Homo-oligomer: A and B are copies of this chain.
């Protein structure tokens, strides 16, 4: 069982990649919809929520964990690794940094939530990985509500994207990381607001790195269940999220309600 978790349903863009790149593997997803969004919350709160999400996935039999959320990847990867005790943990930031470093001419932009940008994680990881590459970050806090309200194709989304990306255009970026799992849903609008810029989607890179790991660890891979079974849990459920989930995953999804608060008692 591959476990994925996010603050909400945005992480389903990572689940979609698992279905595409690793067909057949069972997955369990947890979206903390009762407490979303995480993007504007403090590191302390995000770490606590991330540990609860980890407990939840372990209690449901996850043997590999994907942090399908840039904010948690940026702020809580160490806490999730400590909590997961030996279960391999994949996050969405480093695969995106590596990909961006590989394709850029030297100027990378990162768009993300306020939490991810303020964490400075992309700047620091790039400095460690490819010190000559310049990284410019830009928080885009309106993108998540625009996507969640189904307004990605409306002119207001284009106008807001144009405004958010202006400072990055002035910096003459050649590569742009979509540093929030919701943002691939705005890909066409973002591409228009950043003409000639190469887009990096962390979901694709993360699942590619998980795939490599499975190839390099065939024993571990053989231990993962492969019955094409997929469970989707959320901490709050309403008809709107049910519809969004199916749209974003590209197939029918039955969301089930679950409480994170009791997960610790169940885990291990």
Residues of chain A touching chain B, judged by Cβ–Cβ distance below 8 Å, are: 33-35, 40-42, 45, 114, 141-142, 145-146, 148-149, 151, 155-156, 159-160, 235-238, 240
Contacts of A236 in B (CB 8 A): 41-42, 45
Instruction: For A145, give its contact among B42, B142, B155 (CB under 8 Å).
Output: B142
Q: How far is the CB of A52 from chain B (nearest CB, A)?
A: 12
Contact flag A238-B149 (CB < 8 Å), given A34-B45, A45-B34, A156-B159: no
Bound-state CA distance A229–B238 (Å) is 40
Interface centre among A41, A155, A236 (most CB of B within 10 A): A41
Q: How many copies does the complex hold?
A: 2
Closest to A146 in B: B142
Bound-state CA distance A160–B149 (Å) is 12
Q: How far is the CB of A117 from chain B (nearest CB, A)?
A: 12
Q: What would be 19 A-B contacts, judged by CB atoms less than 8 Å apart?
A: A34-B35, A34-B41, A40-B238, A40-B240, A41-B236, A41-B238, A42-B236, A42-B238, A45-B235, A45-B236, A141-B145, A142-B146, A142-B149, A142-B151, A145-B145, A155-B159, A156-B156, A156-B159, A156-B160
Bound-state CA distance A40–B114 (Å) is 21
Contacts of A159 in B (CB 8 A): 155-156
Q: How far is the CB of A50 from chain B (nearest CB, A)?
A: 14
- Given contacts A33-B41, A142-B145, list 8 more A-B pairs with CB under 8 A: A34-B45, A40-B240, A45-B235, A114-B240, A141-B148, A141-B149, A155-B159, A156-B160
Q: How far is the CB of A249 from chain B (nearest CB, A)?
A: 19
Q: How far is the CB of A160 from chain B (nearest CB, A)?
A: 6
The 8 tightest CB contacts between A and B, nearest first, are A145-B145, A156-B156, A35-B35, A45-B236, A41-B236, A34-B45, A42-B236, A42-B238
Contacts of A151 in B (CB 8 A): 142
Bound-state CA distance A134–B226 (Å) is 56
Bound-state CA distance A40–B236 (Å) is 10
Bound-state CA distance A181–B22 (Å) is 46
